[in-house]
Amino acid sequence: MEKHYRTVYSGSAIICLRICDDLEEKGIKPIIKDTAESARLAGFGAVPNYQIIQVRKDQEAQALQIIKDLNL
């Protein structure tokens, strides 16, 4: 199965919010995966405050450049 989305960042939920704001300003619609919230809803434990940002494969290079320019 071909992957249509690529992970461009994983880490703190606060930093993810900052990155997502900048991506959306540039017309990139990120997908945020919150493993802790998913695990909590399923009744399991997970690392809190950890999220993953994914973007479409054709927007990966642009998204990575935006993240790099943030100097986080």
Measured distance CA(5)–CA(59) in Å, rounded: 9
The amino acid at residue 20 is C
Alpha-carbon dihedral of residues 8, 13, 15, 20, nearest 10 degrees? 60
Q: Which two tokens stand for residue 70?
A: 């943030």
By the 8 A CB rule, do 53 and 19 touch?
Answer: yes
- For tokens 């399991």, what's the residue? 44
pLDDT tens by residue, the chain, 72 residues: 458 999 999 999 999 999 999 999 999 999 999 877 777 777 777 767 889 999 999 999 999 999 999 987
